[in-house]
Amino acid sequence: MSAIAVLTSGGDAPGMNAAIRAVTKVAASRGVSVWGVEMGYDGLIDGNFRPLTRLNAKNKNLTPVGDVEAMGSLGGTVLGSSRSPRFHTREGRAQAVAQLNSYSVEGLIVIGGNGSLAGAHVLAQESSIPVVGIPASIDNDIGLSREALGVDTALNTIIDACDRITDTARSHHRAFIVEVMGRQSGYLAMAAAVATAADGVLLPEHRRNREEVVKAVIECIVESFGQARDKTRVLILKAEGVDITTHELLDEVEKVVPPDIEVRSTVLGHLVRGGNASFRDRLLAGRFGLVAVEAVLSGVTDRMVGWNHTEAGDPTSDSWIRLFPIADVLEETTALLDGTSSVTMDRVRRMEAIQGVLSL
């Protein structure tokens, strides 16, 4: 194999650039050139390829181009990303394969979330080009990997923001409802609630209706500011996927709580996506990238690399990184989000077990 390509797709996540760097450096060390596909699957269809490796004039070996070294610490994705309706059509995918062939690309690595992996799965089935996926999603909603790229950085960002909000909340004796991203997964809210010693957490996995959510928040705030406790602030984390907007929730809560209790809300939004990748995301990106390149060069296709110390999946050169059929990944991802996965059930059980502790 003489050339491979790498693309990023879907929502951006810190660690994507570190994965691009790892893929490029590992491939170059094996004498394989790398093309970066700009703007995801749309760029694949349009043939927007840029070289990530070059021939070293001194020793005639392949080496990464100059900006590859610097990109590893950056958040987002330097290759760009997009959601491509054209790739959902057979004609669009056929054009993408034709572009890969025109650049003599013999393997493709896709870095992204559920939708990106679904695209990689179809492309692997419809072409003879080996395709391997790397999970990247701050929501941590990808099956068969303990963590995806971007999760650790996002959590560090949330914790830093909540610590700052706590400073001002404590100064004014206020309650804050802080919404974090995550779509239909409550993982970020759950993990951050524990790390910030929040007084409560609202998760879509709890399946509460609007009235139940409002009641739970009111009870948490009133009890936390009660005379039996010395609370100077109340912090409640709300996952994006909870079935009531943060603005509406604040309005409903303010109607009921005593007038001497001030309640504020903050939606962190896309702030959670940005920022330079953390140590763990960079390390994980390097390990994912190494195994992904090794897999593609061996002709492995329709697989995702996952951080999962289990007997499931195919072993790799890294004892903690295994290869999983993308079809199995997509099936487990669906189960994670609809609540039927054992992983989701365990998360809900753990949060229910510590709800009383959070509010102390």
Active-site amino acid positions: 139
In terms of C-beta density within 10 A (0-12 exposed, 13-18 middle, 19 or more buried), how is residue 341 classed?
A: middle
Query: 295: which 2 tokens?
Result: 């897999």
Q: Which residues does residue 43 pair with via DSSP β-bridges, in sequence order? A: none
What does the alpha-carbon distance between residue 307 and residue 147 come to, in Å, rounded to a whole number? 7
Q: Are 38 and 48 in contact (CB under 8 A)?
A: yes
Tell me if 173 sits within 8 A of 233, measured CB to CB.
Answer: yes
Closest listed residue to residue 184, CA positions, set 8, 340, 339: 339
Strands (E), the chain: 3-8, 33-37, 49-51, 53-55, 62-64, 108-112, 131-135, 174-180, 200-202, 234-239, 262-267, 303-307, 321-325
Q: Residue 239's CB: how many other CB atoms inside 10 A?
A: 26
Regarding beta strands 53-55 and 62-64, do their DSSP bridges make them parallel or antiparallel, or are they unpaired? antiparallel
83: amino acid identity, one letter: R
What's the rounded Cα separation, in Å, for the pair 34 and 62?
Answer: 10
| 267-300 CB burial, b ≥16 within 10 A, e <16 | bbeebbbebbbbebbbebbbbbbbbbbbbbbeeb
